[in-house]
A and B are shown apart, each in its own frame.
Chain A
Amino acid sequence: MTEMRMRDALREALREELIRDDRVFLLGEDIGAYGGSYSVTKGLLEEFGEARVRDTPIAESGIVGVGVGAAMAGMRPMVELMTINFSFLAFDQIVNNAAKLHYMSNGQITIPIVIRMASGGGSQLGATHSHSLEGLYAHFPGLKVVCPSSPADGKGLLKQAFRDDNPVIFIEHTANYGLKGEVPEQEDFLIEFGKASILREGRDVTLIGYSGSVHQAVRAADLLAEQEEIDAEVIDLRTLRPLDMDTVIESVKKTNRAVVVEDDWRFGGFAGEIASQIMEKAFDWLDAPVARVCSKDVPMPYNRNLEFAALPSEEDVVEAVLAML
């Protein structure tokens, strides 16, 4: 094990994949000379040269379009979109081309593209630059959606993304880039998609999160244990597509209660999907309606205090748990 930050773990994954497979190349705004907005690609231009680490103009639709085309032609590109907020500009390329060409060509075409983007609020970037859209991308059949919460998961899942023949939307929470954690030193460390991890075992309630919200869930579990003697189980979904409901259902059958925590808005969001599936698959094991702790139903405020009030907190999770006991 080596302790490293998320951004370094991600960089290691990219570096290893660039070495392993010469079809891999990187495209994105400021990923070369500047080293990436979140320093994920720092040093890769120097090591691999301009042919494989390409700075692009500010033109998200164009960048993703080039990536999709390259993937169709046999390359395995990674496109960095700087932040998820700019992916709206590339929405048609992602949703209509990347996600559907395999299906619409009857499997003749595959699109092995990795599209990385930073997500989440909490950095006073205002309403237009603070989105959490993991659930939005998970809505579309044809896309895989990966959202790691730790450096080890970041490395193992990103390397796995390059091995996948489908378009993978790889979403990194901005608050996680500086997060330190132990990363296995084993060669070619991979984490299979569709395997949730149980971060903490408990018997009273299941807390379900992914990406940034996993950390609120873990802190809430600590508070519940310290202050209320409530034993919470915490599940990190790791990937929303494919989605590991088996682990969730098994846990709910044990605890009889579930709270879904996510940074996205509650209305029409992914937490509703989880809650629905729990209701469908474990109705007779529920002791309370599944609760959702999500962002307030407003565009993200710029003011720091208001922004924190709008985002889900560990206290919100504790409150939701207490309300169902």
Chain B
Amino acid sequence: MAFEVTMPQMGADMTEGTLVKWIKQVGDHVERGDVLAEIETDKATVELEAYEAGELIKIVVEEGDVAPVGEVIALIGEASEETPDIERKPAAETPPRRHVESAETPPPHEEDLQRPLSEAPRVPAEEPAAAAPKEAPAATSTPPGDAAREGRIRISPVARRIATERGVDITQIRGSGPDGRILRRDVEQAAESAPQQPTPQPVPAAAPAAPRPKPAETGAGLSRMRQAIARRMTTSKQTQPHYYLTLDIDMTDALAFRKQLNEAADDERRVSINDLIVKACAVALERHPKFNAEFADESLKMHERINICIGVALDEGLIAPAIMDCGSKTLGRIAKDAKDVIERAKGGRLRADDYSEGTFTITNLGAYGVEALIGIINPPQAAILGVGSVMARPAVVDGQVTVRQLMKVALSADHRVTDGAEGARFIKEIQGLLENPASLAL
């Protein structure tokens, strides 16, 4: 059977992507992990890898076209395989993801079930299903139509898994288990007696689908990145009540420490001021895990990994890829990974997880000479640290006015997750770490 290649979801807020270029062509053999195509998302151009090996037997979405997340964009199958009949829907009728995969998931909404029979290739309830199981107890087994009308198909986990694996349409199976539950044996029989074509269900006429503009008209002159920044920043300010705390960090010792480190380090591991801040934040986040969390309606989702995003300014906008697992990385490793991710961001070669799995963000305009930067939280994260320039300024040390290298930082934090006193402890922790930088080498 053919495997469907679908528009991937790269990042929680991605709803559609543009097929920039097909790297593989129809007839090409592909191995798992081969790059099939380049997809442009809101934030970057990413490479789409094959999850199955075989021959690329059909391309559904052409270069330059936009497809919603989950839509079939190509098929991979056997060389000899007859190409399944799958055509691109006109854009205005493109079904949302759940319809494409309706062979695997029960239709969740009542209106989906009320579509006209002429459009639904469903076996009429009174007619025995093609794969009627042996000894199906008539008294307890429910025809598929009835089960579906309850809003949920009763099917055991193992039966559902096998149906998905073998492409069996569970709406066509009469369950032989207790209360009409579809069991493993029912799916296996159905798979043997009627091999299924991976043909997507027709689009229900009733399903509302907003007309989607053609790519050429996208956002009237706004780049996709600009649109994404606009949407995300608006979401942040509208849904995340921010509070702000600022303080000065005396970076005199940290600069000396950095100089000492870099005298010994190779180019790859040369440590920047921002690397020191990343490391300090990683240590502080371990001690204050609520700043490494996200607000999820009635609860807090605490992240186990500390993935710190760093803002990277690009010509066309801004992107904040993450340095993964900062909690367990040394300063040298963070420096190396930061260089790598910044280089890839500038070259447009970020992977989806580079920017979708961040848990905290640092935005640093120190290089631009600004005194202070008060950031907007990068949703759905709980906080962002804005960093200004390190400036030689008068400071009071031991009662004496003296010149020190000061850096103003601002914590913007989601008040639904933490309160000001917690924020104060967190930012003081960062300050303490940077003012005693030797601890960052541990």
Residues of A within 8 A of B (CB): 256, 283-288, 323-325
Contacts and interface: CB of A to CB of B under 8 A. Distances in A.
B33 to A, nearest CB: 24
A291 to B, nearest CB: 11
A283 B178 contact: no
A287 B182 CA distance: 9
A284 B178 contact: no
10 contacts: A256-B156, A256-B184, A285-B161, A286-B156, A286-B157, A287-B157, A287-B158, A323-B178, A325-B177, A325-B178
Interface in B166-214: 177-178, 181, 183-184
Contacts of A288: 156, 177-178, 181, 183
A325 B128 CA distance: 21
Contacts of A285: 157-158, 161
B178 A287 contact: no
Contacts of A323: 178
Given A256-B158, A283-B157, A284-B161, 18 more contacts: A256-B156, A256-B184, A284-B157, A284-B160, A285-B157, A285-B158, A286-B156, A286-B157, A287-B157, A287-B177, A287-B183, A287-B184, A288-B177, A288-B178, A288-B183, A323-B178, A324-B177, A325-B177
Contacts of B433: none
Which of A288, A323, A324, A325 has the most chain B CB within a 10 Å cutoff? A288
Interface of B: 156-161, 177-178, 181, 183-184
Contacts of B181: 288
B339 to A, nearest CB: 41
A286 B157 CA distance: 6
Nearest to B184: A287
A252 to B, nearest CB: 10
A283 B160 CA distance: 11
Contacts of B157: 283-287
B247 to A, nearest CB: 40
A286 B159 CA distance: 8
A55 B413 CA distance: 68
A178 to B, nearest CB: 39
Contacts of A284: 157-158, 160-161
Nearest to B155: A287
A324 B185 CA distance: 13
Which of B156, B160, B161, B178 counts the most chain A CB atoms within 10 A? Answer: B156
Contact of B158 (A286, A324, A325): A286
B31 to A, nearest CB: 26
Nearest to A288: B156
B80 to A, nearest CB: 31
A323 B179 CA distance: 10
Contacts of B183: 287-288
Contacts, number: 31
A288 B175 CA distance: 12
A1 to B, nearest CB: 40
A286 B161 CA distance: 10
Given A256-B184, A287-B184, A324 B161 contact: no
Contacts of B178: 288, 323-325
A94 B156 CA distance: 43
Contacts of B177: 287-288, 324-325
Most buried by A among B157, B159, B161: B157
A193 B411 CA distance: 53
Contacts of A286: 156-158
Contacts of A325: 177-178
A21 to B, nearest CB: 45
B173 to A, nearest CB: 14
A285 B161 CA distance: 8
A257 to B, nearest CB: 9
A284 B161 CA distance: 6
A286 B155 CA distance: 10
A79 B236 CA distance: 65
Nearest to B160: A284
Nearest to B185: A287
Contacts of B160: 284
A323 B177 CA distance: 9
Q: Can you list the 5 inter-chain pairs with the closest CB atoms, starting with the nearest?
A: A287-B156, A284-B161, A286-B157, A287-B184, A285-B158
A283 B177 CA distance: 17
A262 B24 CA distance: 59
A284 B159 CA distance: 8
A324 B184 CA distance: 12
Nearest to B182: A287
Nearest to A285: B158
Nearest to A286: B157
B165 to A, nearest CB: 10
A285 B158 CA distance: 4
A215 B88 CA distance: 61
B241 to A, nearest CB: 37
Contacts of A256: 156, 158, 184
B137 to A, nearest CB: 10
Nearest to B176: A325
A3 B178 CA distance: 44
Contacts of A287: 156-159, 177, 183-184
A202 to B, nearest CB: 16
Contacts of B184: 256, 287
Nearest to A256: B158
Contacts of B158: 256, 284-287
A323 B157 CA distance: 17
A284 B155 CA distance: 11
A153 B191 CA distance: 45
A283 to B, nearest CB: 5
A81 to B, nearest CB: 43
B168 to A, nearest CB: 15
Contacts of A324: 177-178
Nearest to B159: A287
B357 to A, nearest CB: 24
A53 B159 CA distance: 58
Nearest to B187: A287
Contacts of B156: 256, 286-288
A284 B184 CA distance: 11
A284 B187 CA distance: 14
A47 B177 CA distance: 61
A324 B178 CA distance: 6
A323 B183 CA distance: 13
Nearest to B156: A287
Nearest to B186: A287
Contacts of A283: 157
A288 B178 CA distance: 9
A321 to B, nearest CB: 12
A284 B156 CA distance: 8
